[in-house]
């Protein structure tokens, strides 16, 4: 995957994927998780009944294993293999997702890039699932790096990891403005945990009441309403 070379920037914007960059991307992600459990354990499992919105893939897989009757100890033992299998399975059969981009994309990513803003990902997707999804959506090249669902136990930890990486690699200065954009209450909480600005968009499935209750710094109908001066 091509990567853009960034100069030291005064801004970092962290994006969630599902419901924020893409929506209605099809059944392939869930199918990869379900088929991975079957492949690794020989036991059928499903995401049915699991509130997957805003959840990390590693947590979803853990809950699937538990619901399938697998002990917590055994679930932790097979989880790495299940995560690897899910990422392998997702690499085939995913259609072109460019028509699944949320409103305002890819224009907003292009404009931020032209302004020298560093773009990165904070997502519950497993690494190769997230990158492949964005590859099929035609926008992966805008993002410098990502913090993905297998890398930390919580979304807040992922946000902190992303900020620390941007600083460690010299992509942003110590006084950089940092924003996390997402469509779920968990994204808002992650921004709060990391001490960064939170922008919530209503392009996912979360009820507006849930987003308001989570207390984002800014709540937008979609990214077409984003004022670039604040990020």
**pLDDT bucket at 3, cuts 50 / 70 / 90:** very low
Mean pLDDT rounded to a whole number for the chain: 95
Alpha-carbon torsion 101, 104, 110, 113, what sign?
negative
CB 14, CB 177: distance < 8 Å:
no
Can you tell me the distance from the alpha carbon of 124 to that of 52, in angstroms, rounded to the nearest whole number? 10
CATH topology of domain 9-24+100-230: Rossmann fold (3.40.50)
- pLDDT (mean) for 169-198: 97
Query: Does the structure show a pLDDT above 50 at 4?
Result: no
Query: Does the structure show a pLDDT above 50 at 195?
Result: yes
Query: Does the structure show a pLDDT above 60 at 36?
Result: yes
Give pLDDT, residue 6: 40
* Residue 73: half-sphere exposure toward Cβ, Cα within 13 Å: 0
Q: Tokens 């302004």, residue? A: 115
Can you tell me the distance from the alpha carbon of 157 to that of 213, in angstroms, rounded to the nearest whole number? 22
Phi, psi of 115 (to 5 degrees): -85, 0
Cis geometry, peptide bond prior to residue 106 (ω within 30 degrees of 0): yes
- 3-state SS, residue 180: strand
**pLDDT bucket at 38, cuts 50 / 70 / 90:** very high
**pLDDT bucket at 8, cuts 50 / 70 / 90:** low
- pLDDT (mean) for 92-106: 97
- pLDDT (mean) for 38-53: 95
Q: Tokens 């849930």, residue? A: 210
Residue 4, classified by CB atoms within 10 Å of its CB into exposed (0-12), middle (13-18) or buried (19+), is exposed
Which of 200, 199, 196 has its CA nearest to residue 209? 200
Can you tell me the distance from the alpha carbon of 184 to that of 205, in angstroms, rounded to the nearest whole number? 8
- pLDDT (mean) for 35-47: 97
Query: Does the structure show a pLDDT above 90 at 1?
Result: no
For the ranges 3-7, 18-22, 108-112, 139-143, which has the lowest average pLDDT? 3-7
- 3-state SS, residue 53: coil
The pTM of the full predicted model, rounded to 2 decimals, is 0.94
Can you tell me the distance from the alpha carbon of 146 to that of 130, in angstroms, rounded to the nearest whole number? 9
Q: Tokens 């059928």, residue? A: 44
CA 222 to chain centre: 17
- pLDDT (mean) for 184-213: 98
Question: pLDDT tens-digit profile of 212-230?
Answer: 999 999 999 999 999 998 9
Phi, psi of 174 (to 5 degrees): -65, -20
Give pLDDT, residue 9: 73
Query: Does the structure show a pLDDT above 90 at 26?
Result: no
CB 197, CB 175: distance < 8 Å:
no
**pLDDT bucket at 5, cuts 50 / 70 / 90:** very low
CA 212 to chain centre: 20
């Amino acid at each position: 995957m091509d990567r853009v070379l960034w100069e030291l920037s005064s801004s970092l914007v962290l994006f969630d994927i599902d419901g924020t960059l893409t929506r209605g991307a099809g059944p392939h992600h869930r199918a990869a998780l379900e088929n991975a459990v079957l492949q690794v354990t020989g036991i059928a499992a499903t995401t049915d009944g699991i509130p997957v919105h805003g959840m990390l893939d590693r947590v979803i897989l853990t809950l699937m294993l538990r619901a399938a009757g697998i002990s917590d100890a055994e679930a932790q033992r097979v989880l790495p293999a299940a995560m690897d299998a899910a990422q392998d399975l997702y690499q085939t059969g995913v259609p072109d997702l460019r028509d699944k981009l949320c409103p305002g994309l890819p224009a907003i990513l292009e404009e931020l890039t032209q302004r020298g803003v560093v773009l990165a990902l904070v997502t519950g997707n497993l690494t190769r699932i997230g990158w492949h999804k964005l590859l099929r959506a035609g926008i992966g090249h805008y993002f410098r790096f990502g913090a993905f669902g297998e890398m930390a136990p919580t979304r807040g930890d992922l946000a902190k990891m992303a900020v620390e990486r941007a600083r460690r690699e010299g992509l942003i200065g110590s006084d950089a403005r940092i924003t996390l954009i997402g469509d779920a209450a968990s994204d808002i909480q992650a921004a709060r945990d990391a001490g960064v600005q939170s922008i919530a968009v209503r392009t996912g499935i979360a009820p507006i009441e849930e987003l308001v209750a989570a207390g984002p710094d800014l709540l937008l109908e979609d990214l077409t309403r984003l004022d670039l001066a604040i990020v």
